[in-house]
Amino acid sequence: SSSGSSSSSGSSGSLQSEIQQRNKHWMETIAVPVTTKLLLCGGVAGAFSKTCTAPLARITILRQLQTSGVVPGWSGLQQVGIYSALSKIVKEEGVRALWKGNGVTVLHRLPYSSINFYVYEKIM
């Protein structure tokens, strides 16, 4: 019974070795230039960070428009806290409404962050 367990661990070791060889082969075959890596990393990081903070940006915009009466249900409200504002948006418009307008923001942020990160990495 001990020989059976050693052969199964041996076969998993050879399988792992084969997977590592295949990954190494693909990593050598598909060479991504450093410039592309830096631009992609910066763009993805910028888009991700903007998407994470989008609900707060949405509250900021609604609060700025509050006195104008342009946004129904927000005019004449007293100072609303962050949690109350988030709850109000989710209750009235659904969870997806927290990210309204995020697509346009990401389209703007992606190239900006890409170039910013690339230049920073090249200078520093």
**pTM of the model as a whole:** 0.67
Choice between 13 and 89, residue whose per-residue pLDDT is larger = 89
Give the C-alpha separation, 60 to 121, whole Å: 32
Nearest one of 50, 40, 35 to 102, comparing CA atoms: 50
Which three-class secondary structure string do you get for the chain? CHHHHHHHHHHHHHHHHHHHHHHHHHHHHCCCCHHHHHHHHHHHHHHHHHHHHHHHHHHHHHHHHHHHCCCCCCCCCCCCCHHHHHHHHHHHHCHHHHHCCHHHHHHHHHHHHHHHHHHHHHHC
pLDDT in tens, 77-106: 667 788 988 999 999 999 999 999 999 999
pLDDT in tens, 33-82: 899 999 999 999 999 999 999 999 999 988 888 877 787 777 766 677 88
Q: Please say whether the beta carbons of 98 and 86 come within 8 A.
A: yes
Residue 28: both structure tokens together = 């050598």
